[in-house]
Amino acid sequence: MRELLILIGPQGAGNHLWSKIFSLHPQVYGWKSLLENYWEPHRFKEPFAKHWRNPLLFEEFDWDLSYYYFTSISCPLGIVGSDINPIWNPNLMSFINEVKKYRVNVKVAVIGRDQTILNYQQTRIRSESTMPLFYEQFNKLDLTPIFLSYELLYLYKQDYLKSLNVNIPVAWQDSRINDILADDPNKKYIHNVEYSELDEGNKTGKVFVQKP
């Protein structure tokens, strides 16, 4: 059977970042053009973009291209109130059920990012949080997903990738990973804390009673 890894997640959780990681392996049919560019619009460039809009187009797809496939989708996709990039929530189970008709084994990976940073990112670009629309589709999944962490990827890098149990090969030894992870986009949202009252507890062993 062919293997397909579907990456889903809320907007701003690192969809493009993870798409680069999972498309690195030469045996994986994935988003190869993204490896040559820092960013590309999903609705035009992702290899299965038209299939997310209309899963019936898989009737014309050549599954002999590889044994391993990767695709990604944000839930939702687009911007609230935009005429150029109107918001749209893909039907995950419709896509998955159509793929399974072609004897393809499907695994779903859900990406996550710090909830405060995610809220800042969404409201900055989308004008409001689109998390409710993500949960709308996530709650309809009848598959048990695996969960991927944006923060763990940047913290442990290759060691974290090596530990992942996904159904496609992961090129965790690829030298391009260092370039992909060279700059942490979380930095622009984070500032240093000069002092916290718990600092003294760590330094002296003083016990702090939990506040009511």
pLDDT tens, residue order, the chain (212 aa): 999 999 999 999 999 999 999 999 999 999 999 999 999 999 889 999 999 999 999 999 999 999 999 999 999 998 888 888 889 999 999 999 999 999 999 999 999 999 999 999 999 988 889 999 999 999 999 999 999 999 999 999 999 999 999 999 999 999 999 999 999 999 999 988 888 777 776 777 777 666 65
What is the model's pTM?
Answer: 0.92
Distance CA 186, CA 117 (A): 7
Q: What is the pLDDT of residue 81?
A: 84
Instruction: Give the CATH number of domain 2-204; options: 1.20.1280, 3.10.20, 3.30.310, 3.40.50.
Output: 3.40.50
Nearest to 76 by CA among 66, 86, 62: 86
Residue type, 147: F
User: What are the E-state strand segments in the chain?
Assistant: 2-9, 28-29, 68-74, 104-112, 146-149
Q: What is the pLDDT of residue 156?
A: 98
